[in-house]
Amino acid sequence: MTKKFFYFFLVLMILVFLFIFFLFYKFSQEARVELTTSKSDISLDEINSNDYDRDLKYGFYEDMTKEEKLEHVLDRLNNKENKAIQEMSLEDAFYVVEKLKLYLEEDFPKLRHFTYKRLKEISLNQNNESLNQLVVYELLKAINDSSALVWQHAAADLIDYSSNDFNDKSKLLIQEYISKEKHLAEVFLIAGCAGIIDILPLLDKIIGESTDVSKVGMWYGSLNWRANLAAARLGAKRNIKYCIKKIENEPNDVIRVTKLLRDLAYIRQKESVLSIKSFLDSDDRLPSVKDGVLGSSYSQCAIDLLSEIIYDFPIEKKFVGGYSSSDISTARLWMNQKRNWVDKIIR
């Protein structure tokens, strides 16, 4: 009897132990799930909190009307007013760009126009290749926009980007526009910036078949001229020489310095930069537009462009008329003594 009781008690204790172990295991698993869920919730809350903070900081909120969105890009994201873009972190920049892309879906050309402007300002301020490529692709899509206000400005803004900012997807879109003959004059210039060498035969064909007179009669507004500029940007020596000679022979000083000097800067080749340097070294001035006030000097216009197109240029970009005589002297000395500035041309 005692022996049977002992075995019975032993089995009972084993069952109790197994039951307690089962309860403990079940509790620990539930606690683990609860802890994991809690951590996940905290992480999500932190992310949502960050997004909320960014929305608050940069003026995004739900259910904005298109008029409120326009006011937003004209006011809260206007760098001239509050330095919001200038002080933006790279992480915030990516976030804001994604939020602004939603504005581009609005049937409101003026809103789309100023949204593209802000996208460009944000990307160029960060000078991050990945962000630039993202924004460049959005600007390229604007070439298809039905509004001239939108696509013309977007096309002009794309000229400020360099070849590294155009990824394969962007280059394919450019080639698609060319095949459809979509705004060829503007797209040729963009293709030059993107470094699409394959279009050189087409450019030669266009140059041979077109005239150098535009619809408004100005040669520098023609498709022929844009094709020559694009070919020059792509390194075609004959086109480089043609463009430089054409600009230097322009008899109108104002057109040559204020308009065509920028076309020289677009080319981004050694020969074209040397031509700009000749304007930097000049003491000539444009005609005065106001009694008692001297016209802008050639050197002011030249240094403003050189500060854009040469990496590590000794003078930070300001604006025409904002450079001191000391700035001009420093730039002249640097261009004369620095032998490797050719390698610093931003292409």
- Cβ-contact 198, 162 below 8 angstroms: no
Band (16; pLDDT cuts 50, 70, 90): low
The answer on pLDDT for 316 being more than 90 is yes
Q: Which two tokens stand for residue 225?
A: 């001229």
pLDDT at 290: 82
Return d(Cα 108, Cα 90) in angstroms, integer: 28
- Cβ-contact 166, 136 below 8 angstroms: yes
| Cα dist from 322 to 250, 316, 332, 347, whole Å | 26, 11, 16, 26
pLDDT at 291: 79
pLDDT at 42: 32
What is the pLDDT averaged over residues 314-324?
95
What is the pLDDT averaged over residues 5-26?
64
Q: Which two tokens stand for residue 317?
A: 């970009």
The answer on pLDDT for 33 being more than 80 is no
pTM of the model: 0.82
Return d(Cα 112, Cα 145) in angstroms, integer: 9
Mean pLDDT estimate for the chain: 88
- Tokens 């459809």: give the residue: 180
Least confident window among 49-58, 99-108, 155-164, 182-191: 49-58
Least confident window among 43-57, 114-128, 183-197, 213-227: 43-57
Band (47; pLDDT cuts 50, 70, 90): very low
In the beta sheet, which residues pair with residue 290? Answer: 293
162 Rama class: left (phi>0) / alpha (psi -120 to 50) / beta: beta
pLDDT at 46: 40
